[in-house]
Chain A
Amino acid sequence: AQSVTQLGSHVSVSEGALVLLRCNYSSSVPPYLFWYVQYPNQGLQLLLKYTTGATLVKGINGFEAEFKKSETSFHLTKPSAHMSDAAEYFCAVSDDGTASKLTFGTGTRLQVTL
């Protein structure tokens, strides 16, 4: 069975500060890992994904995430937060890369302050 834990349901950062959103997973096989973002009144949008290969994955809007097998983590980072980054972020894991087998975390709401 696979699962996802997102530490911190709410994270607040100042504009220009580092963004770090945490995600830990459990999976019985090498995982496929995803980060999605949800802006208010919208559906989820793919930020980035890890399947195989390079463990540092770059996504849209300056975000990146690093797959660390030894820590079973896939934390999302951005060097400098922007007001437009305020949204809810979801980490997800899949055993086989198939969308129908995705397990989502409960989400982290990012607040960006001036």
Chain B
Amino acid sequence: ETGVTQTPRHLVMGMTNKKSLKCEQHLGHNAMYWYKQSAKKPLELMFVYNFKEQTENNSVPSRFSPECPNSSHLFLHLHTLQPEDSALYLCASSSLDRGNNSPLHFGNGTRLTVT
């Protein structure tokens, strides 16, 4: 149990499908993140939410749409993806408090395959 739960663990979708990834954290953190992990590349930060407000969007294509309804839940809505979007998508959370920033806590990821 990591404290950060991601569903589904595996997802195969066609380029015309619409699907959503879900992340839930039980750690009382106030910030949540989406990362993309591709083979032989560094982790890429996609989005950051701090107290439900999006604070980072690292030039992510609009076919990825995040949603953060509260500090414990984070979604990544996917539509019209490309095969190069196949990767492991990791959710993470942390506490962002003045003078006391906790490290990232990761979920186990969703392995996405776009066919």
Best-surrounded residue of B2, B41, B42, B92 (most CB of chain A within 10 A): B42
Complex A-B, nearest 7 residue pairs according to Cβ-Cβ distance, in ascending order = A43-B106, A104-B43, A99-B94, A44-B106, A100-B48, A104-B42, A99-B104
* B66 interface residue per 8 A CB criterion: no
Ordered by A's residue number, 17 sampled pairs between the chains whose C-beta atoms are within 8 Å are A9-B40, A34-B103, A36-B104, A36-B106, A42-B108, A43-B109, A44-B90, A45-B106, A90-B43, A98-B101, A99-B101, A99-B102, A99-B103, A100-B33, A103-B42, A106-B40, A106-B42
Residue among A49, A100, A105 making CB contact with B56, cutoff 8 Å: A100
Q: Are B107 and A105 in contact (CB under 8 A)?
A: no
Q: Are B43 and A43 in contact (CB under 8 A)?
A: no
Q: How many residues of A contact B (CB 8 A)?
A: 22
Chain B residues within 8 Å of A, Cβ to Cβ: 2, 4, 6, 31, 33, 40-43, 45, 48, 50, 55-56, 90, 92, 94, 96, 101-109
- Give the complex CA separation of A98 and B90 in angstroms: 18
Please, which residues of chain A bring their CB within 8 A of the CB of B109? Answer: 42-43
Q: Are A99 and B92 in contact (CB under 8 A)?
A: yes
Please, which residues of chain A bring their CB within 8 A of the CB of B31? Answer: 99-100
Q: Are A100 and B55 in contact (CB under 8 A)?
A: yes
- Which single residue of chain A is at the shortest CB-CB distance from B100? A97
- Give the complex CA separation of A97 and B96 in angstroms: 10
- Give the complex CA separation of A107 and B12 in angstroms: 26
- Give the complex CA separation of A107 and B105 in angstroms: 18
Please, which residues of chain A bring their CB within 8 A of the CB of B92? Answer: 43-44, 99
